[in-house]
Amino acid sequence: MEVEGATVGEALDALDSAHPGFAERLFDDEGGIRRFVNVFLADDDVRYLDGLGTKVPEGETISIVPAVAGG
């Protein structure tokens, strides 16, 4: 799905506008990305970039990957 947004946060907000309730699964009570949700810009985890403020070049891919644990 394509959405508009100059930053990762803006793109995720646009995704929530298209699919209401989506943000509840992504963001914690403080507005940060939940710890069990991984968000990547291309191949880079946005936690190690500028988080939700990470700039998104036009046409770049954002991936949302739930963490998987088990043993």
Number of Cβ within a 10 Å radius of residue 41: 20
Question: Locate tokens 């963001």: which residue?
Answer: 27
Number of Cβ within a 10 Å radius of residue 3: 16
Model pLDDT for residues 8-54, shown as the tens digit of each residue? 999 999 999 999 999 999 999 999 999 999 999 999 999 999 999 99
Q: Which of 45, 7, 39, 44 is nearest to 26 (CA)?
A: 39
Domains of the chain, residue spans? 8-66
pLDDT score of 71: 66
Which pTM was predicted? Answer: 0.89
The superfamily CATH assigns to domain 8-66 is: Beta-grasp domain (3.10.20.30)
Find out whether 9 and 31 touch, Cβ atoms under 8 Å. no
Model pLDDT for residues 52-63, shown as the tens digit of each residue? 999 999 999 999
